[in-house]
Structure 1
């Protein structure tokens, strides 16, 4: 399927045709070495993209995850996954250009990297894992954003009528509102034009994480006694023996997938300036992104556990671990919703790019697919309208919103989708590509421990998938289709 002939045909029919910058004469200074418009990204914008992609509203459920494992295992698992994610991301960034990490040919997407280095069947498996994961995440973000918006209305209802009121509110109108915003933002033609959205989203993630952290510190300082322990929730007191095992598996899964951003890493790297070398800049951005993320995760997880103990709620801003001050809870939930508006775009742009490039290849003569119409928009300059882009991207957003409304517990599927894609995308492919590109000798010391790391992460993926399936089965038992899901 992925023969060299196909690859050249794809390049020829794609929106951009590779032309050496020298061949463009004076205009060459506006183009990179592959003939594409000069990239302008820096370590600042790349770090913002990474923080936006990694720190989701899941940061607020880490207190629950630490509560399942306790003071010893909880932070240890957090640090272990931060290290694994950073380490495998440094292997992956060296594969953006191949066969040489600095002067080789660019690969614009994760799947193109796999195709050029590993080829064939592995390329197809990678594409399947990547796009299933991305679609799942965009559906999950639609649900999570609506839950945060509903939490604002519920918070005001609790403040007005007391904490014992039911205050049920439907998520559906908020999902529709979120989808309408995404239809507009999805018309931004490509990824490197989204740097401003990522910076806004990164600021929002700092804001709500800091509010959650501040409220937890205030609760701890208030001196209210809660039960915590070195091993987390107690068998026979909080949970049964089997529940403890399943919950621990789920908690490991939550933490492992809270870090995953490798499925958009190459796309982020493709926004960077040509000089200094992209792999060097991306390693710096990855270090800043993962370090910042880990700092927030450890603080929110550990202080959240200290505040709530073994009874930590799944999410202490939307699950009403806090009721007051209600205006601050409202502001934090608005920040979550705004952050997810940006994060949705970071995760759906690779899907848009993949389908559009495939369509340009398939229907290279079609005006509907290929023709751009220049529209003058006051205050914004010229916008290039493409009818296929408008119809396809709008349809994608509508379909994800409809699925989110039909399955409001779909968020629970995300753990399963995440567990199935964590090992191949974050660990297996980066390690295999690094081994191949560096011509590493089989059974050498480095080869052996890289393989051991890969197998260990595979076992973790299987364990957390089992935990997610069990959790999903429990949620399906409790699911009441006519009752709003909170």
Structure 2
């Protein structure tokens, strides 16, 4: 990959890390560096963030279970602390979009570009490896979680028609394949900037199923007249001491993952128009989205725990599987699926862009990579289909689908990816780049405070990684490839 940010390839095409377009200086559709003009706003950026964060099985719907492991004191406190850390580090990361002056400095189009401009060296490759492996893992997570929700709809209707004693066994595989087919189609959207409408739909869907989930929790508490749970969470006896420790670590990983959007933050910021400066817009979008996310997290986590207590399920919606109205749960699970369709694209578009940019730089004279097929659309401008994009993105979706079918380990695998990326991408790199940008003296009070925060988050990440790995080991005991059934 080229070390020069924003390289212009005028002899062939201009590649911006997400979309390849002909160089057309002076056009109203292009900015001063021959890139398509950005049109993103606070609302589209906020929708991207919410879509990336409110992630069903391993996100907001897992927080009742996480609260059950930590209890009424540590659970809510952990959610608030992670919200504060996420907002602070995201704001620092947003300052790295431009090198130098926040309004006129050179733009860094990707997270790797920001690390290259501020830190350089081996850290660039390390950042890229962690970011893109994480995004690949999250794509698998979306596939697994979507199949679980589709399967839940099928089973709910089966129980409703045949009775609760019916086995209603359903395989995940057909639903993973169906999800993969849909993603093959949506993956042909050229770049991140053009999926804004999909993110808005996904954000609305995430709000929908979250509202249904905590609404059902409120209804159950009102019906029983009892708030379940304890100050310290699930007790020894219900689980062993070792399980209590592992589960507490997993809970921290679930909460950390439920707030993380750092792997795609710079790429989201690159869709935002200017003026005002991208940093100001992104700061407002982060304030808005973190506030909305925290409200939903607290509501789902606390009301879910109040409804189910120590027996809170890993996916809050599954706890209401046998409750009426069953159609409301079907709506919630359908909203989860629609949301995950958008989340898959939010996670994958930066990875798509990186591979396509790298391929164009390695093979600048390749007709296969550069070739476009114009497809006329009545009443609309023609759609330009790139053969390389069609082939490679289709192969990518097929790979994620097959891996998801081989490893349907629910949310534990996804928590591993969340633990792996939380400290380096959400904390370490933003803090280190901020220190370099502001030239903060080593061992100063400010530097020391930032390092303490970084070390504390590293410890949490390690604990979450250990706990989630223990969960996967437990899953492997009953593992049968392609045999995920209820």
1:7 CA drift (Å):
7.6
Which residue is 1:194 aligned to?
Answer: 195
Does the CA contact (< 8 Å) of 1:146 and 1:175 recur in 2?
Answer: yes
Q: Tell me, what secondary structure is at the counterpart of 2:14?
A: coil
Does the CA contact (< 8 Å) of 1:78 and 1:255 recur in 2?
Answer: yes
Q: Distance in 1 between matches of 2:318 and 2:16?
A: 48
Which residue is 1:217 aligned to?
Answer: 218
Q: Distance in 2 between matches of 1:312 and 1:241?
A: 19
Q: Distance in 2 between matches of 1:17 and 1:86?
A: 28
Which residue is 1:297 aligned to?
Answer: 297
1:379 CA drift (Å):
4.1
Report matched runs for 1:64-75 at 5 Å. 64-75=65-76
Q: Tell me, what secondary structure is at the counterpart of 1:419?
A: helix
Which residue is 1:122 aligned to?
Answer: 123
Q: Unaligned 5+ residue runs, structure 2? A: 18-22
Q: Distance in 1 between matches of 2:331 and 2:476?
A: 32
1:64-118 Cα deviation digits (max 9, x unpaired): 1101111100000000001101100000000001022221111111111111111
Q: Unaligned 5+ residue runs, structure 1? A: none
Which residue is 1:231 aligned to?
Answer: 232
Which residue is 2:398 aligned to?
Answer: 398
Which residue is 2:151 aligned to?
Answer: 150
Q: Distance in 1 between matches of 2:453 and 2:126?
A: 20
Pair 379,169 (structure 1): closer, same or farther in 2 beyond 3 Å: farther
Q: Distance in 2 between matches of 1:232 and 1:138?
A: 32
1:15 CA drift (Å):
2.9
Q: Distance in 2 between matches of 1:465 and 1:10?
A: 42
Does the CA contact (< 8 Å) of 1:141 and 1:344 recur in 2?
Answer: yes
TM-score (norm 2): 0.94
1:483 CA drift (Å):
4.3
1:182-216 Cα deviation digits (max 9, x unpaired): 11111111111111100000000011001111111
Which residue is 1:355 aligned to?
Answer: 355
Which residue is 2:342 aligned to?
Answer: 342
Report matched runs for 1:83-94 at 5 Å. 83-94=84-95
Q: Tell me, what secondary structure is at the counterpart of 2:236?
A: coil
Does the CA contact (< 8 Å) of 1:68 and 1:244 recur in 2?
Answer: yes
Which residue is 2:457 aligned to?
Answer: 457
The Cα RMSD (Å) is: 2.0
Which residue is 1:432 aligned to?
Answer: 432
Which residue is 2:20 aligned to?
Answer: none
Q: Tell me, what secondary structure is at the counterpart of 1:409?
A: coil
Moved over 4 A (4+): 1-4, 6-14, 319-322, 480-483
Q: Tell me, what secondary structure is at the counterpart of 2:314?
A: coil
Q: Distance in 2 between matches of 1:410 and 1:231?
A: 26
Does the CA contact (< 8 Å) of 1:147 and 1:318 recur in 2?
Answer: no
Structure 1 position 269 matched with structure 2 position 275: no
1:361-413 Cα deviation digits (max 9, x unpaired): 01111111012232212244211111101100111001100111111116422
Pair 177,24 (structure 1): closer, same or farther in 2 beyond 3 Å: closer
Q: Distance in 2 between matches of 1:444 and 1:429?
A: 19
1:289 CA drift (Å):
0.6
Which residue is 1:408 aligned to?
Answer: 408
TM-score (norm 1): 0.94
Pair 418,485 (structure 1): closer, same or farther in 2 beyond 3 Å: farther
Q: Tell me, what secondary structure is at the counterpart of 1:317?
A: helix
Q: Distance in 2 between matches of 1:225 and 1:278?
A: 48
Report matched runs for 1:36-51 at 5 Å. 36-51=35-50
Does the CA contact (< 8 Å) of 1:151 and 1:333 recur in 2?
Answer: yes
Q: Tell me, what secondary structure is at the counterpart of 2:383?
A: strand
1:293-332 Cα deviation digits (max 9, x unpaired): 0000000100111111111111121354553211111110
Report matched runs for 1:299-318 at 5 Å. 299-318=299-318
Pair 292,365 (structure 1): closer, same or farther in 2 beyond 3 Å: same
Report matched runs for 1:153-168 at 5 Å. 153-168=154-169
Pair 435,462 (structure 1): closer, same or farther in 2 beyond 3 Å: same
1:481 CA drift (Å):
4.4
Pair 321,373 (structure 1): closer, same or farther in 2 beyond 3 Å: closer
